[in-house]
Structure 1
Amino acid sequence: MRIPPPGNMARIHLFEFEDQQAFPSFLRNYMTDFLQFLSNKTRLFHPILPLLAEAIRQSGSRQLIDLASGGGGGLLGLLDELRQKFPELRVLQTDYYPNRDAAAYLQQTRPDVDYLDVPVDARQVPTHLKGLRTLFLALHHFRPADARAILQNAIDARSGIAIFEGQEHSLPSLLAMFFSPVSVLLTTPFIRPFRLGRLVFTYLIPLVPLCVWWDGIVSSLRTYSVDEMRALIHSLDRHDTFSWHIGRIKSGPAAVLYLIGTAQESATQIQLI
């Protein structure tokens, strides 16, 4: 029996708690706060810095429109180094379910980052939000039709887009997610903003670690492989008017999958590989 290489197994779209409209917003916020904290403390996305910097340069924009930002997302840990290259860089974070506690905390700790406190649908970004669009740990939440809508909307708006996933559909990734409750238990006291409820629903009523465990495993099952991302691109109208860069890069024991597209008139040609 041939075992597929990492990330090449067909995705399975099971449900995640975080996606459910009826899911309590405070629990969703605790979960996205954890993801933001862990991805930045472990520097998960640090290896993609050159890719993102090149996408910013090629896009011709000095504003990032971060979609599905949750509690701040993986972008926050990259900003200081990005601003060394682009001092004028501006950042606007958005989400379909805005994490208003995280937004308020960012206003105090990162005044250089704005967080829009009204829902923004990544499939239909308002036309006045202009800049290079980014998604961290988010594409897997969308079924193929919705993922295509995100990409098609970027093409239609002539807006560059850079997508990064920190898990993949592979046995090592699934094993890491299986033990994710341990990370929740170890890191929760250090996550900011401090919330007493976060401690209650982590240690006394362990809903946060249980939901992170389930959603983490499902996230790996849902993640688009490099080949599946290529297929998404080839299914889009006018996809050839953009330059696309799709791949997988190591990040410590894990890997980051990426999909980057920029309009050709503002970019040197990147081959779809």
Structure 2
Amino acid sequence: MKRMSLFEFEDFRWFPGGLRECLTLYIAAMHRVLGTERILAPLLARALEAAATDRVVDLCSGGGGPLLQTTARLEADHGLRPDVTLTDLYPNTDAAARINAAGDAARVRYLQNSVDAGQVPDTLQGVRTMVCSFHHMPPPVARRILQDAFEKRQALCVLEISDNSQPRWLWWTAIPAGVLMVLLLTPLIRPLRLRQVLLTYALPVLPLLIAWDGAVSNARTYTEEDLRELLAGLEAPDYQWEISHPRAPGAPATMLTLVGLPLRTQASRPEPGVRQEA
């Protein structure tokens, strides 16, 4: 596999919760700037239709990521208002309180108990989404996530903002660019707290942490070839995998998506396997 097994600070259980929250809020702001919801919404609309469900279970949600913007675009562009459940191995308690306080009007709730993406409880049914989080999973866990969705015929949408197609050495040049991005994007973070500002500009801990995690996440992203290796043997006439490399309007590079879809009718069943989309 081209994917490299490296560490990101936010993966560690000991990583301070305050810093973890700052990182996840920054990531949410970055998704808004990149327009990730413009890529995710049509994928999710297809998956909801294929699975004949109105429920979404987001795994590794962090601070909420782009799911709130995605639900708004789903309603505006596709007329869909699914019930969305956000989950995380280390739930962001502040984000959970803020999102849950919005009430049923948003149709989004954040579970405050820990949920392991590799062992999704059977009580959580619906289209599973993983946005910029699949690369955190080592190959055995990543395989288990794919296999569980396949065996239970649950739709799955994986989106990574990097496709890891560049030479390995090039990713490390992203560290200085990452530091600059943090300095520029921090004023766009909502809610923007004093801690985030101080740890960005007065004591620049966050720019270094985020730049490292960003460069490493690029190197840890599964390539299309890696995904095909993970999907070996997960084939059936009533389930289809699709891999694509979309680009959001104005985004600097292509993204990588993997979608698993249950097929309900004989007429809609293509040859089993992995489908390539442009």
Pairwise same-fold verdict (TM > 0.5): yes
1:82–1:174 Cα change, 3 Å: farther
Alpha-carbon deviations, 1:43-86, whole Å to 9, x = none? 03413432221111111111110000111112222211212324
Q: For residue 272 of structure 1, what is the aligned residue in structure 2?
A: 274
**Which of residues 240, 252, 272 is equivalent to 1:243?**
240
Q: For residue 93 of structure 1, what is the aligned residue in structure 2?
A: 86
Q: For residue 117 of structure 1, what is the aligned residue in structure 2?
A: 112
**Deviation for aligned residue 1:144:** 0.6
Tell me if structure 2 keeps the 8 A contact 1:168–1:221.
Answer: no
Does residue 98 of structure 2 align to residue 105 of structure 1? yes
**Deviation for aligned residue 1:180:** 1.6
**Deviation for aligned residue 1:42:** 2.5
* Residue identity in the other structure for 2:269: Q
Does residue 67 of structure 2 align to residue 75 of structure 1? yes
* Residue identity in the other structure for 1:68: C
Tell me if structure 2 keeps the 8 A contact 1:67–1:93.
Answer: yes
Does residue 253 of structure 2 align to residue 254 of structure 1? yes
* Residue identity in the other structure for 1:212: I
Q: For residue 128 of structure 1, what is the aligned residue in structure 2?
A: 123
1:224–1:201 Cα change, 3 Å: same
Distance 1:260 1:177 in 2: 30
Report how many aligned residue pairs link the two structures. 264
Query: More displaced, 101-110 or 163-172?
Result: 101-110
* Residue identity in the other structure for 2:66: G
Query: More displaced, 246-255 or 27-36?
Result: 246-255
**Which of residues 185, 205, 208 is equivalent to 2:206?**
208
1:41–1:52 Cα change, 3 Å: same
Query: More displaced, 46-55 or 135-144?
Result: 46-55
Normalising by structure 2, we get a TM-score of 0.87
Q: For residue 183 of structure 1, what is the aligned residue in structure 2?
A: 181
* Residue identity in the other structure for 1:257: L
**Deviation for aligned residue 1:195:** 2.1
* Residue identity in the other structure for 1:259: L
**Deviation for aligned residue 1:106:** 2.0
Query: More displaced, 158-167 or 42-51?
Result: 42-51
Overall identity of the aligned pairs, in %: 36
User: Which structure 1 residue ranges, 4+ long, deviate > 6 Å from structure 2?
Assistant: none
**Deviation for aligned residue 1:203:** 1.6
**Deviation for aligned residue 1:158:** 2.3
Tell me if structure 2 keeps the 8 A contact 1:94–1:116.
Answer: yes
Tell me if structure 1 keeps the 8 A contact 2:50–2:264.
Answer: no
Query: More displaced, 45-54 or 241-250?
Result: 45-54
Distance 1:61 1:174 in 2: 42
Does residue 42 of structure 2 align to residue 50 of structure 1? yes
Tell me if structure 2 keeps the 8 A contact 1:90–1:112.
Answer: yes
1:197–1:153 Cα change, 3 Å: same
* Residue identity in the other structure for 2:64: G
Alpha-carbon deviations, 1:195-217, whole Å to 9, x = none? 22112211222121111111111
Distance 2:238 2:173 in 1: 39
Q: SS state of the match for residue 249, structure 1? A: coil
**Deviation for aligned residue 1:121:** 0.4
Alpha-carbon deviations, 1:143-184, whole Å to 9, x = none? 110101111121233211110000132257664554122221
User: RMSD value over aligned CA atoms?
Assistant: 2.2
Tell me if structure 2 keeps the 8 A contact 1:68–1:96.
Answer: yes
1:135–1:266 Cα change, 3 Å: farther
Tell me if structure 2 keeps the 8 A contact 1:185–1:202.
Answer: yes
Normalising by structure 1, we get a TM-score of 0.88
Query: More displaced, 170-179 or 145-154?
Result: 170-179
1:109–1:192 Cα change, 3 Å: farther
